[in-house]
Copies of this chain bind each other. A is one copy, B any other.
């Protein structure tokens, strides 16, 4: 119980920033003396600090605020995108303290290469950490289907991976256990914890890149399904006579609204790739380029159809567009909304709001960081004792 309370308190300041003891007492339903005792324990371990707040504008002695110590504990977070590898050191509290990125070519990236680059980034990032800061976990987001137990990539179509032991390999190179999650799953958790979905328990995060993934939060929990492969909304068939999909089917949502579809409709296939290419189409449409406008309208129509289906099935409070779907949604909101207006039942339509990511391109990376923080937030002192000597030579 004490351990759980320690973890809960740390989670509150990790996600909520500096909070006064009285706010913590309210949020956790505990009395102030318990909060003081818990804070003292976490403070002795170096995980939180207490300080006077800024000017509160009120008379009287202000309550001390409890703040996470970003330099005491950090995690390594990795994000394997189709066109880019990203790595970051993220401090307790969620701040990105340092980062590395590498652009990569789509085809032929084998496991060895990817793991090599990421492990190199990881070593650099750890070397840059302040003395006394310990690494409490490693998380990675991957653009494909992940087996949760061991971080194996079951299927990563655009990278060309099938059944690759990504988590195990990266872990052995870093000499640390690595937790791996699907990028859209992790993006959903990050938006719920730190982004536009804060406080929403029924949320769908749609992540677009070359493909389209979904992270679906049902009643506060990520929808994993039986094997952890739930949320593959990119392979909903929205257009049975539509474009062939990398999965072997036809007219899947990702075939109709992913980057290649947009670039082809816009007459720009092959010019550039990645998020910048998508942004260039949206910019062109804003400047009056009719072909770009039509491409966005076309893609927005299929996106709206897919979202309408998801709204009917899940009755969510919020749908969040992330990755390139952020740009595509912003460039085709009229089509998306029109499809939802005609394709959903009123009782559910009334309850849903459409939003774009608040974490931008870092949503998936931040989700990977949260995966890595999970252990220290579950049982802070135990997790710390496993990775670090007693704090401050104690």
**Which stretch in A98-106, A282-290, A346-354 binds the other chain?**
A346-354
Q: Provided the pairs A223-B218, A313-B214 are in contact, do residues A347 and B154 lie with their beta carbons within 8 angstroms?
A: yes
Residue A172 lies at the interface, judged by CB distance under 8 Å to chain B: no
Give chain B nearest CB distance to A374 CB in angstroms.
18
Residue A345 lies at the interface, judged by CB distance under 8 Å to chain B: yes
Residues from chain B with a CB closer than 8 A to the CB of A229 are: 315, 345, 347-348, 351
User: Which listed residue, B232, B233, B240, touches A239 by the CB 8 Å rule?
Assistant: B240
A249 and B342: CB pair below 8 A?
yes
Total number of A residues with any Cβ neighbor in B under 8 Å: 50
**Which stretch in A62-70, A89-97, A261-269, A304-312 binds the other chain?**
A304-312
User: From A230, which residue of chain B is reached at the shortest CB distance?
Assistant: B315
Residue A44 lies at the interface, judged by CB distance under 8 Å to chain B: no
Residue A235 lies at the interface, judged by CB distance under 8 Å to chain B: yes
B238 and A312: CB pair below 8 A?
no
Interface residues of A (CB under 8 A from B): 145, 147, 154-155, 201-202, 214, 216, 218-219, 221, 223-233, 235-240, 247-249, 305, 308-310, 312-317, 342-348, 351-352
Question: What are 20 pairs between A and B in contact, CB < 8 Å?
Answer: A145-B345, A145-B347, A155-B347, A202-B225, A218-B219, A218-B221, A219-B221, A225-B316, A226-B317, A229-B315, A232-B313, A236-B312, A236-B313, A237-B343, A238-B240, A247-B345, A248-B342, A249-B308, A249-B342, A249-B343
B346 and A315: CB pair below 8 A?
no
Residues from chain B with a CB closer than 8 A to the CB of A346 are: 154-155
Instruction: Output the residue of A229, A239, A342 with the most chain B CB within 10 A.
Output: A229
Residues from chain B with a CB closer than 8 A to the CB of A344 are: 235
Instruction: Output the residue of A223, A247, A314, A344 with the most chain B CB within 10 A.
Output: A314
Give chain B nearest CB distance to A310 CB in angstroms.
8
Task: Provide the bound-state CA to CA distance between A235 and B343, in Å.
Answer: 8
User: Which listed residue, B155, B216, B223, B238, touches A237 by the CB 8 Å rule?
Assistant: B238
Task: Provide the bound-state CA to CA distance between A352 and B229, in Å.
Answer: 12
Residues from chain B with a CB closer than 8 A to the CB of A345 are: 145, 155, 229, 232, 235, 247
User: Which listed residue, B201, B214, B227, B249, touches A348 by the CB 8 Å rule?
Assistant: B227
User: Which listed residue, B248, B309, B348, touches A225 by the CB 8 Å rule?
Assistant: B348
User: From A216, which residue of chain B is reached at the shortest CB distance?
Assistant: B313
Task: Provide the bound-state CA to CA distance between A227 and B314, in Å.
Answer: 10
Give chain B nearest CB distance to A308 CB in angstroms.
7
Residues from chain B with a CB closer than 8 A to the CB of A225 are: 202, 218, 314-316, 348
Residues from chain B with a CB closer than 8 A to the CB of A155 are: 345-347
Give chain B nearest CB distance to A313 CB in angstroms.
6
A226 and B312: CB pair below 8 A?
no
Give chain B nearest CB distance to A354 CB in angstroms.
14
Residues from chain B with a CB closer than 8 A to the CB of A247 are: 345
User: From A349, which residue of chain B is reached at the shortest CB distance?
Assistant: B229
Give chain B nearest CB distance to A129 CB in angstroms.
36
Task: Provide the bound-state CA to CA distance between A214 and B314, in Å.
Answer: 11
Residues from chain B with a CB closer than 8 A to the CB of A233 are: 312-313
Task: Beyond A201-B226, A225-B314, A236-B309, list 18 extra A-B contacts (CB 8 Å).
Answer: A145-B345, A155-B346, A218-B218, A218-B223, A218-B225, A219-B223, A219-B224, A226-B317, A229-B348, A231-B315, A232-B312, A232-B345, A237-B308, A237-B309, A238-B240, A249-B342, A249-B343, A313-B313
